Amino acid sequence: MKRKYSAGAISLVGLGVLTVASYVLQERANVEAAGVQAPRFEVDPMWPKPLPNHWVIGATIGVAVDGSDNVWIIHREGSLEEKEKYAAMKPPASLCCAPAPPVLEFNQAGDLVGHWGGPGEGFDWPSSNHGIDVDFKGNVWIGGNGRGQQPAALPADESRMGAGRVHDSFVLKFTQSGKFLMQIGKPNMSKGSNDVDNLKLPAKTLVDPKTNELYVADGYGNRRVIVFDAETGKYKRHWGAYGHKPDDTQLPPYNPADPPAQQFRTPVHGLALSNDGILYVCDRINNRIQSFKPDGTYLKEVIIEKNTRGDGAAFDVALSRDPQQRFIYLADGSNMKIHVLQRDTLEVLTTFGDGGRQPGQFYAVHSIATDSKGNIYTTETYRGQRVQKFLFKGLAPVAKKDQGVVWPKSKG
């Protein structure tokens, strides 16, 4: 009887294992049958390598990838705490640390291969750096969202600007070695969202390789996208939400119960241009991405995490590097994650990331870019103060809507 009972128990256990295994296989088959696939990533916890010279970086508010797959970031030295700058004091207060130069360039291995930035002759450096782009010719573009100190005295014809005057009403163009090439706009000269000569706290730039036109998400003060000739700086066109003429009327605080706002809220924070000529614009506080033709014709929008208040969910966008650019990656600095969207439908397929300080987690993920291999790079603002790399691992069935931290899989 004992032997029969044991055999029966073993049979039941075996049946249970088979049942669980069958269930798992069936679930996997169901997911695959649904045809929902998305790019899969793993954080590279060893990238980049430590900086030399006891350098540290502050709030990191821009990332770009150049034609050689080198990764560029820009950060704010002024955001560092006093104890993070002891070695830079005169005399030094300790062996560590000192602010790194504002513009840093890394190669694919994570080595620092270039650094420069700061005030110089012939141009106005932003009082608060914001955004970096390396265009198809290798030129480096920088914006800023700092209000700065107001001039002590204003010419009579400028007095109308009053409290609305801001220092960072321009963008800058440099070579990759940091040589100044061009400035569009002048500090403290912005006249609002329909001023075609100046910007107002511009957040991000990009250059269309087909037309050599510069698109600016403009920005923290203005409520528009504006386009210039990237060679001459000549104004081309601009528009606001839904392709309308922008309006600087102050909107009430965002309320998810309200109908969609008919103008951008500030900041107009990120943009990306697809190979097939669709411009995606981050209306950050309104928690949405709007898409346009290059001439400003509105196409459609998607709302992301509608109930997000405060800093908003739509910080920055990047596109996947497959030929069709099937996916959009949205950096969500309030909910501390990356949303992966199907580009043709703007449907959110999955997310990855979570709040925290460890690799693969985020504190205010701010900017995002992709390289030719499909890897993702992110930066974090406020006290996040870092750049991270997420390795592209191919397409995979979407088994979880929220993946959490995409830690490298064990090889054991």
Task: State pLDDT tens for residues 191-201.
Answer: 999 999 999 99
pLDDT at residue 5, as a whole number = 43
Q: What CATH number has the domain bearing residue 49?
A: 2.120.10.30
The pLDDT mean for the chain works out to 91
Burial 165-200 (b: 16+ CB within 10 A, else e): bbbbbbbbbbebeeeeebebbebbbbbbbebeebbb
pLDDT at residue 34, as a whole number = 54
Q: Quick check: is 18 in a domain? A: no
Q: What is the mean pLDDT of residues 137-151?
A: 91
Query: What token pair was written down for 190?
Result: 């912005």
CA dihedral over 187, 190, 193, 197, signed as positive or negative: negative
pLDDT tier, 250 (very low <50, low <70, confident <90, very high otherwise): very high
Q: What is the mean pLDDT of residues 8-28?
A: 45
- Residue 337, classed as helix, strand or coil, is strand
Q: Quick check: is 26 in a domain? A: no
The count of domains in the chain is 1
Q: Quick check: is 13 in a domain? A: no
**In the chain, pLDDT over 70 holds for what percent of residues?**
87
Distance CA 377, CA 63 (A): 7
Distance CA 368, CA 63 (A): 6
pLDDT at residue 30, as a whole number = 45
pLDDT at residue 151, as a whole number = 64
Q: Quick check: is 404 in a domain? A: no
C-alpha radius of gyration, the chain, whole number: 24
Q: Quick check: is 30 in a domain? A: no
Burial 66-103 (b: 16+ CB within 10 A, else e): beeebbbbbbbbebbeeebbebeeeeeeeeebbbbbbb
Distance CA 377, CA 366 (A): 11
**In the chain, pLDDT over 90 holds for what percent of residues?**
86
pLDDT score of 1 more than 70: no
Q: Which residues contact 140 (CB under 8 A, 6 or more apart)?
A: 64, 72, 103, 132, 133, 134, 173, 174, 175, 176, 178
pLDDT at residue 411, as a whole number = 66
Q: Quick check: is 317 in a domain? A: yes
Q: By the 8 A CB rule, do 373 and 367 touch?
A: no
pLDDT tier, 4 (very low <50, low <70, confident <90, very high otherwise): very low
pLDDT score of 404 more than 60: yes
pLDDT at residue 313, as a whole number = 98
Q: What is the pLDDT of residues 92-136, one digit of tens each?
A: 999 999 999 999 999 999 999 999 999 999 999 999 999 999 999
Q: What is the mean pLDDT of residues 70-98?
A: 96
pLDDT tier, 149 (very low <50, low <70, confident <90, very high otherwise): confident
pLDDT score of 223 more than 90: yes
Q: Quick check: is 23 in a domain? A: no
Q: What is the pLDDT of residues 294-352, one digit of tens each?
A: 999 999 999 999 999 999 999 999 999 999 999 999 999 999 999 999 999 999 999 99
pLDDT at residue 240, as a whole number = 98
| Strands annotated E in 178-286 | 180-184, 202-208, 213-218, 224-229, 235-239, 268-273, 279-283
pLDDT at residue 165, as a whole number = 85
What is the extent of the structural domain holding 339?
Answer: 39-397
| Half-sphere exposure at residue 250, Cβ-oriented, CA atoms within 13 angstroms | 3
Element (H, E) at 130: strand 129-134
The answer to whether the predicted template modeling score (pTM) of the entire model surpasses 0.85 is yes
CA dihedral over 46, 97, 357, 115, signed as positive or negative: negative
End-to-end CA, the chain: 43
Q: Quick check: is 340 in a domain? A: yes
pLDDT score of 387 more than 70: yes
pLDDT at residue 156, as a whole number = 46
Q: What is the mean pLDDT of residues 255-271?
A: 97
